[in-house]
Amino acid sequence: MPLYSDEGIVLRTTKLGEADRIITLLTREHGKVRAVASGARRVKSHFGARLEPFMRDSILCATGRSLDHISQAVCIGAYARAISADYKSYLAASVICEITDKILDTEHEPAPAYYQLLLGALIALARRRHQPWQIGESYVLRAMAIAGWRPHLSSCVVCGKTDGLTSFSVHLGGALCRSDHAAGAVGLTETQFAQLRALSLGDWDWCGGRRDACVAALVEEWAQYYLERPLRSLRLLDYET
């Protein structure tokens, strides 16, 4: 079987048979990869904790017919310990990994923009650079934007007016002015619009304020509506209230 080496971040693991695991990774050069780690569930597995979620490893894989096989994994970024030590950081990292896994539905297709975004988010969580909810919500908006689902936040999606924005419609794709208010749109204040903009840009200086439950609910709805499926871990982010 042909071999390839890469570096990757573990998004998720699932059990396979008695002793093995399927590891889903986002790699730097090969995009999303699902690979079998033989014996990974044995107590004395030579992989140790290197194939747990949020770990960044240098890996050696063999290409298989349906799934690849991981033959070596060397840790190059142990963010998992610092992230798991703080429950809110753990929840945010779970959202980040789940949405990345769901957005990328094709394997072995390079996704460098996602790799950079994911790496930056996990480092920021591990080093406590910002509040976990800021990193989680900003990641969701930016990952969705890379996929082509970027909300219009600076002008009305119907008439293009940039002032007097009063509501936000997930279905229509963004902000609405007072005269174009549509059924199902959620009323937002200027401060709430500003927080959404700051999160979507990763403007940490601005979004240093408090978490807004209405903005958080919109971020959640935005992701689930355009991905057309629920995100299990987003529900957990309701920890803040």
**Which residues in this chain contact Zn ion in the complex, by CB under 5 A?**
156, 158-159, 161, 177, 180
Shortest Å distance, C-beta 151 to Zn ion: 15
Q: Based on the number of CB atoms within 10 Å of its own CB, is 186 exposed (0-12), middle (13-18) or buried (19 or more)? A: middle
Q: Which is nearer to Zn ion, 176 or 231 (CB)?
A: 176
* Signed CA dihedral, 170, 173, 177, 180: sign only: negative
Q: Report in angstroms how near the CB of residue 158 gets to Zn ion at its nearest.
A: 4
The residues, any chain, with a CB within 8 Å of residue 6's CB and separated by 6 or more, are 27, 28, 29, 30, 33, 58, 59, 61
Strands 165-169 and 186-187: antiparallel
CB of 84 to Zn ion, least distance (A): 46
Give the shortest CB-176-to-Zn ion separation in angstroms. 6
DSSP string, 52-101: STTEEEEEEEE--SSSEEEEEEEEEEEHHHHHHTSHHHHHHHHHHHHHHH
Q: Between 171 and 229, whose beta carbon lies closer to Zn ion?
A: 171
10 or 156: CB nearest Zn ion: 156
Apex 109 CA angle, 19 and 170, nearest 5 = 100
Of residues 14 and 179, the one with the C-beta less far from Zn ion: 179
d(CA 196, CA 175): 11
Phi, psi dihedral angles at 168 (to 5 degrees): -135, 130
Nearer to Zn ion, 162 or 189 (CB): 162
- Cβ-based nearer residue to Zn ion, 22 or 176: 176
Find out whether 37 and 62 touch, Cβ atoms under 8 Å. Answer: no
Tell me the closest approach of the beta carbon of residue 193 to Zn ion, in angstroms. 14
Nearest partner of 134 among 185, 189, 96, 180, judged by Cα? 96
- Minimum gap (Å) between residue 185 Cβ and Zn ion: 11
